[in-house]
Amino acid sequence: MAKILIIDDEKGVCEEFSEILRDEDHEVDCALNAQEGFDKLKIRHYDIIFLDVLMPRIEGREALEKIRKMCDTPVVVMSGYLPANREKEVLQAGAFGSLRKPLELRQVFEFVNKAVESRKK
């Protein structure tokens, strides 16, 4: 079981994604914007964070940089459109990996498992 934070401005994505993860016995919190995600990170430890790249006010790269200053929790960025150069930027900024929407569940669970294993070390 992992503690997971999803930061995505699309409420439907958060609800559906968290339901799938909860069905696998993971604990899941959702944040509908980056600031809400930062607030949750101040009060709870997570094993992995899934972060949408394209959000209003604070976009994914800026949010990722702030998260890196707050904690070392693995962050997987996700987007419906992530050009190769943007993907390279977020990976260099400290992302654990990236996913394209619609999400492929096999990849999601691989990242969750890798994050849990890396946290145990």
Mean pLDDT computed over 15-39: 96
pLDDT tier, 24 (very low <50, low <70, confident <90, very high otherwise): very high
* 3-120 carries CATH number 3.40.50.300: no
What pLDDT, in 10s, does the model give residues 82-96? 777 877 888 888 899
Mean pLDDT computed over 22-33: 97
pLDDT at res. 81: 79
pLDDT at res. 26: 97
Instruction: Give the residue extent of every domain in the chain.
Output: 3-120
pLDDT at res. 3: 97
What would the 3-class secondary structure string for the chain be? CCEEEEECCCHHHHHHHHHHHHHCCCEEEEECCHHHHHHHHHHCCCCEEEEECCCCCCCHHHHHHHHHHHCCCCEEEEECCCCHHHHHHHHHCCCCEEEECCCCHHHHHHHHHHHHHHHHC
